[in-house]
A and B are shown apart, each in its own frame.
Chain A
Amino acid sequence: MTYRSISTRFTLGTLAMAVSLGAQAVTDQDILNDHATVDDVVTYGMGLQGQRYSSLDQLNADNVQSLQPVWAFSFGSEKMRGQESQPMIKDGVMYVTASYSRAYAIDARTGEEIWQYDARLPDGIMPCCDVVNRGGALYDDLFIFGTLDAKLVALNKDTGKVVWVKQVADYQEGYSITAAPIIVNGKLITGVSGGEFGIVGKVEAYDPRTGDLLWTRPTVEGHMGYVYQDGEAVENGISGGEAGLTWPGDMWETGGAATWLGGTYDPDTDTLFFGTGNPAPWNSHLRPGDNLFSSSRLAIDPNDGSIKWHFQTTPNDGWDYDGVNELISFDYEQNGELVRAAATADRNGFFYVLDRTDGSFIRGFPFVDEITWAEGLDENGRPIYTEGGRPGDPAATEEDKGEPVLARPAFLGGKNWMPMAYNQTTGLFYVPSNEWSMDIWNEPVSYKRGAAYLGAGFTIKPANEEFIGVLRAIDPSTGEEVWRHENRAPLWGGVMTTAGNLVFTGTPEGYLKAFDARTGEELYRFNTGSGVVGTPITWEMDGEQYVSVASGWGGAVPLWGGEVAKVVKDFNQGGMLWTFKLPSENGAQ
């Protein structure tokens, strides 16, 4: 019930007032500086570059064993599905989203709810991979997030009232939004999900105060981009120049390349980095060619949506190796020279280090134990395909089904959506990865609006009996795996790291864990009661360092995991937000 009796309403009113006394508008400056300020988290990624690194060290490898929960908050209702959200913090208020497109504001000191927004979703939503939401954006007095029926909703961050709502795409064609939008210099930037339904991916900018569309950039070659001036659409160039360069026939019209995981932003080069998903359909024999800009990283001008450069990790993708994983900007020195780099751990099993000024390939290497589909990368970072590594063409057989292959990694990826973290102190990336393979075969398929557009069958298998998940510390300058921590179930939660020599992540078994960032030694674990597939954050409040993480098992693994089911079938669903800190000097609160 959203309405309450007069007495509770009064209490809530006073609470909201007390909170709003310190509540400030979120500015562009707050967002640009988010990585450097410890008392708030106002971006998805703990900074627009997405490093998920905090300079806080009050909590560190020497005292993390004493970490204790201070409060837990239930997302409520029967909608307990995957909780993949990253909370945000501003002026003592936590903003977090939950499964089924819900959003909450919570008093970060007490865990009491300030407001809740439940999207009224149509029954016909088509999320491919669970009804998750990964987070929102804060700007001015607004909290903005995307919904499973492909809308952006802007809520007043102090009251939870809807300020505006905008339809980004038609959910009946298969579009949805699960990623957190980001704010870059006064623009709200979002992608879309739906790559399994033959949609056309796009990146769009909106005016965060009004929801007015500012520009749109399709991510499939051949589609026109537009800039909007006074409500008028002005052509801003066809993506890739023209249709048909890397796609046969009219396949580009339903080419996929969904931007379903959102993006990051690098202020040094004033560039958005958005990844794109698989080309549609999965059956690659229907679309010979590179199929730009599917399974790629796109560098996009935030001012008008123009594509500056692209880097395609899996040309003519035949394994559903979406190229959506986050591209994290970082700097390092080599031979006394500063390198403005960006790194990503791809679904296809390779880790890439790129020059973020022009997208050129610096180095790449496998970050998983075995890759079957490619023998390696060439000097430009393009995969050298293994002969026979691609599922067979059904048109070449008498059957309805092409020759199956055993491919590794499985399509759920060497790493999936769950963001890795970069530690500026250790210079290492901490990558939540998985060791699994799949049998995959192709089938004939044709496009039908709003229907799954795959043309493939598959089943996933664990690569080892003992473990699937591996948290890895990777040196981006050498490709060396500095340490690894194996986990029986696949890892599906994001990672966060701190100057306190700590790495935090969660496991489907329910644990929030902390590791020594240099050695990988497990220093702390706490069972949250359901699988952790959210992304932890840390911040400072009243002089103390806090850690928060959402708990609630779900996501793509229980839906698509095939034989992984025997490992995960007993994990129960949930929907809680846990907050931790060290005991105060006068004892635990």
Chain B
Amino acid sequence: MSRWWLLVLLWAGLQAHAGVPADPFGSPMWEYNLERYLGADVQVRHDARIDLQVPAFAEDSAQVPLTLDLANFPHRPQRIIAWVDLNPVPHLFTYEPGVTPLRLIALNFRVQQATTVRAAVQDDEGIWHVASAHVDAAGGGCTAPSLTAANPDWERSFGTIRGRAFSRGDHLRYKTSVMHPMDSGMVDNIPAFFIEQVELRDGGEDELLLRLMLSESAAENPMFVFELPHPLAAPRLWMRDNHGNVFERRLEGETG
């Protein structure tokens, strides 16, 4: 018994030395993906102040809602990286800040099988604060043909952006969706075709409010929700897919 504890302490010590705590979910991909997306020699800690919400069970494996709420997180995020541990391409998004801090981000993702989901938020000292959640699923969300693929007329609505801003106290919530097949490249004879870059810019000064880099795990016809402090003028949403198509729209609403 004492020997067992010694081993555990020794292991924990080694982990602490590397700056990586143990995974409460015990995912086999925990350390591998940490190093892959955050790099080696980084300081990582679990942080309950980051509220990462995913459903306990994915009703639709191709459209799983994810909300990352930073209202109780005391630092200004320097970078956020989210990934889905057991997806073929785990990376979901990387967020880079603009002139104002992000309070909330939500989008839908695909899930290939029951998996842990991670959001790593870097503070201004370079420390990564990680929130984890688990989603159970029937799976197949990354390799099932998209709804778009079943619609021969998909180009008619392709690139259509809907969006609006809603006031949330001293913040503004942007809710916007774009019609895009977001093909993962894992369905036979349908090449990867997805939005890679998303930028939100202040409509007045053209200052960057936020930038997102998306990967194949993002869901079809994506809907994004961002909460930011009120900008000066209605911001402009700009997106570019991996085939060079650019989509742009001003997000009108309750600006102030």
Q: Which A residues fall within an 8 A CB radius of B?
A: 1-3, 6, 77-79, 118-120, 122-124, 153-154, 161-165
Contacts and interface: CB of A to CB of B under 8 A. Distances in A.
Which of A3, A6, A78, A154 has the most chain B CB within a 10 Å cutoff?
A3
Contact of B155 (A1, A77, A122, A163): A122
A120 B245 CA distance: 11
Given A122-B154, A124-B152, A77 B189 contact: yes
B85 to A, nearest CB: 14
Contacts of A154: 244
Nearest to A161: B242
Contacts of B89: 1, 3
Contacts of B186: 1
Contacts of A162: 242-244
Contacts of A78: 188-189
Contacts of B190: 120
Nearest to B192: A2
Contacts of A120: 181, 183, 190-191, 193, 243
B192 A118 contact: yes
A78 B242 CA distance: 22
Which of A77, A153, A161, A162 has the most chain B CB within a 10 Å cutoff?
A162
B88 interface: yes
Nearest to B151: A123
A120 B152 CA distance: 13
B154 A118 contact: no
B113 interface: no
Given A1-B88, A1-B192, 9 more contacts: A1-B89, A2-B192, A3-B192, A3-B215, A77-B189, A118-B191, A122-B154, A124-B155, A162-B242
Given A119-B191, A120-B191, A165 B154 contact: no
Given A1-B88, A122-B154, A123-B152, A165 B243 contact: yes
A interface majority secondary structure? loop
B216 interface: yes
Given A1-B185, A6-B36, A124-B155, A164 B192 contact: no
A152 B11 CA distance: 56
A154 B183 CA distance: 21
Interface of B: 36, 88-89, 152-155, 181, 183, 185-186, 188-193, 215-216, 242-245
B244 A164 contact: yes
Given A3-B215, A123-B152, A124-B155, A165 B191 contact: no
Nearest to B190: A120
A165 B189 contact: no
A124 B88 CA distance: 30
B76 to A, nearest CB: 30
Contacts of A124: 152-153, 155
Contacts of A165: 243-245
A49 B82 CA distance: 53
A79 B155 CA distance: 21
B185 A2 contact: yes
Which of A1, A6, A79, A161 has the most chain B CB within a 10 Å cutoff?
A1
Contact of A163 (B36, B191, B244): B244
A98 to B, nearest CB: 12
Nearest to A116: B191
Contacts of A79: 189
A504 B181 CA distance: 44
Contacts of B153: 124
A68 to B, nearest CB: 34
Nearest to B89: A3
B3 to A, nearest CB: 36
A78 B188 CA distance: 8
Contacts of B181: 120
Given A1-B88, A78-B189, A119 B155 contact: no
A162 B185 CA distance: 16
A1 B216 CA distance: 10
Nearest to A163: B244
Contacts of B192: 1-3, 118
